[in-house]
């Protein structure tokens, strides 16, 4: 019998997949909160999402410099302002290139807690629902489902056509949590970051990860108004 590897016994990461949909601030908020909660993270950034990230933040995400680029991304606010957040320690983030189908998360024997796709494009939704596994993000999602692990899909698109709705139903039936990136206003949002954090918080709620990203509803009308 082989001894239990140390990293298997101690490190069970959340895989965070970032697809090409608009909404990279959602992914940044989820990543910051996971690391703040002491969770390990495996990161997969799709090729399409690099274009979205560049367009929404001006950051070029490069395989060879991913740690520097990730730190810059996580320090940026949802309004695009740099250094809106304190520097984040990314020592417990493991990055896998989207084209690396031999990466750890591509196998069910690679231990993870589950996967969060934030944001999820309709193309990503279709690929996962149909089991295409055309890149590491889709392959990892398929592995997550077959292993019975938590999969949260934060779809970011509007309006939704019938085909996408069918794909979302298929994901729900397969055991995934379909979570539209739909901000709420009862928490007293006064800034775009508050709306982003609400969606990120709901993603973490679905994953069972504690956080303090938004004020929870406590049954009191007006509790989130600006005057309170």
202 annotated ligand-binding residue: yes
* Residue 131 pLDDT exceeds 50: yes
CA distance linking residue 226 with residue 218, whole number of Å: 16
State residue 218's pLDDT score.
84
Mean of pLDDT over the chain: 94
Interval 48-80: pLDDT, tens: 999 999 999 999 999 999 999 999 999 999 999
For residues 160-192, one letter each, b for 16 or more C-beta atoms within 10 angstroms of the residue's C-beta and e for the rest, the string is eeeebeebbebbeebebbbbbbebeeebebeee
Residues 6+ positions from 116 with CB-CB distance below 8 Å:
14, 15, 16, 17, 30, 152, 154, 203, 207
Confidence of residue 132 (pLDDT cuts 50, 70, 90): very high
109 annotated ligand-binding residue: no
State residue 228's pLDDT score.
42
22 annotated ligand-binding residue: yes
Query: 6-207: which CATH topology?
Result: Rossmann fold (3.40.50)
Delimit the domains of the chain by residue range.
Answer: 6-207
103 annotated ligand-binding residue: no
156 annotated ligand-binding residue: yes
State residue 227's pLDDT score.
44
106 annotated ligand-binding residue: no
pTM of the predicted structure, to 2 decimals:
0.93
- Environment class of 199 (CB within 10 Å of its CB; exposed 0-12, middle 13-18, buried 19+): buried
91 annotated ligand-binding residue: no
């Amino acid at each position: 019998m082989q001894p239990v590897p140390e990293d298997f016994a101690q490190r069970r990461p959340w895989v965070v997949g970032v697809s090409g949909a608009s909404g990279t601030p959602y992914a940044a908020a989820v990543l910051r909160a996971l690391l703040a909660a002491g969770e390990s993270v495996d990161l997969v950034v799709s090729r399409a999402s690099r274009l979205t990230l560049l367009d929404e933040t001006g950051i070029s995400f490069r395989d060879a410099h991913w740690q520097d680029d990730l730190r810059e991304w996580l320090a940026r606010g949802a309004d695009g302002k740099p250094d809106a957040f304190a520097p984040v320690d990314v020592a417990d983030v493991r990055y896998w290139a989207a084209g690396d189908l031999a990466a750890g998360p591509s196998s069910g024997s690679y231990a993870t807690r589950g996967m969060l796709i934030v944001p999820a494009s309709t193309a990503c939704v279709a690929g996962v629902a149909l089991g295409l596994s055309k890149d590491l993000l889709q392959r990892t999602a398929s592995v997550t489902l077959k292993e019975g692990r938590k999969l949260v899909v934060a779809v970011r698109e509007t309006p939704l056509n019938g085909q996408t709705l069918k794909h979302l139903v298929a994901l729900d039936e397969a055991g995934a949590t379909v979570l539209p990136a739909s901000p709420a206003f009862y928490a007293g949002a006064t800034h775009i970051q508050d709306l982003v954090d609400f969606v990120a918080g709901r993603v973490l709620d679905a994953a069972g990860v504690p956080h303090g990203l938004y004020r929870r509803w406590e049954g009191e009308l007006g509790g989130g108004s600006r005057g309170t």
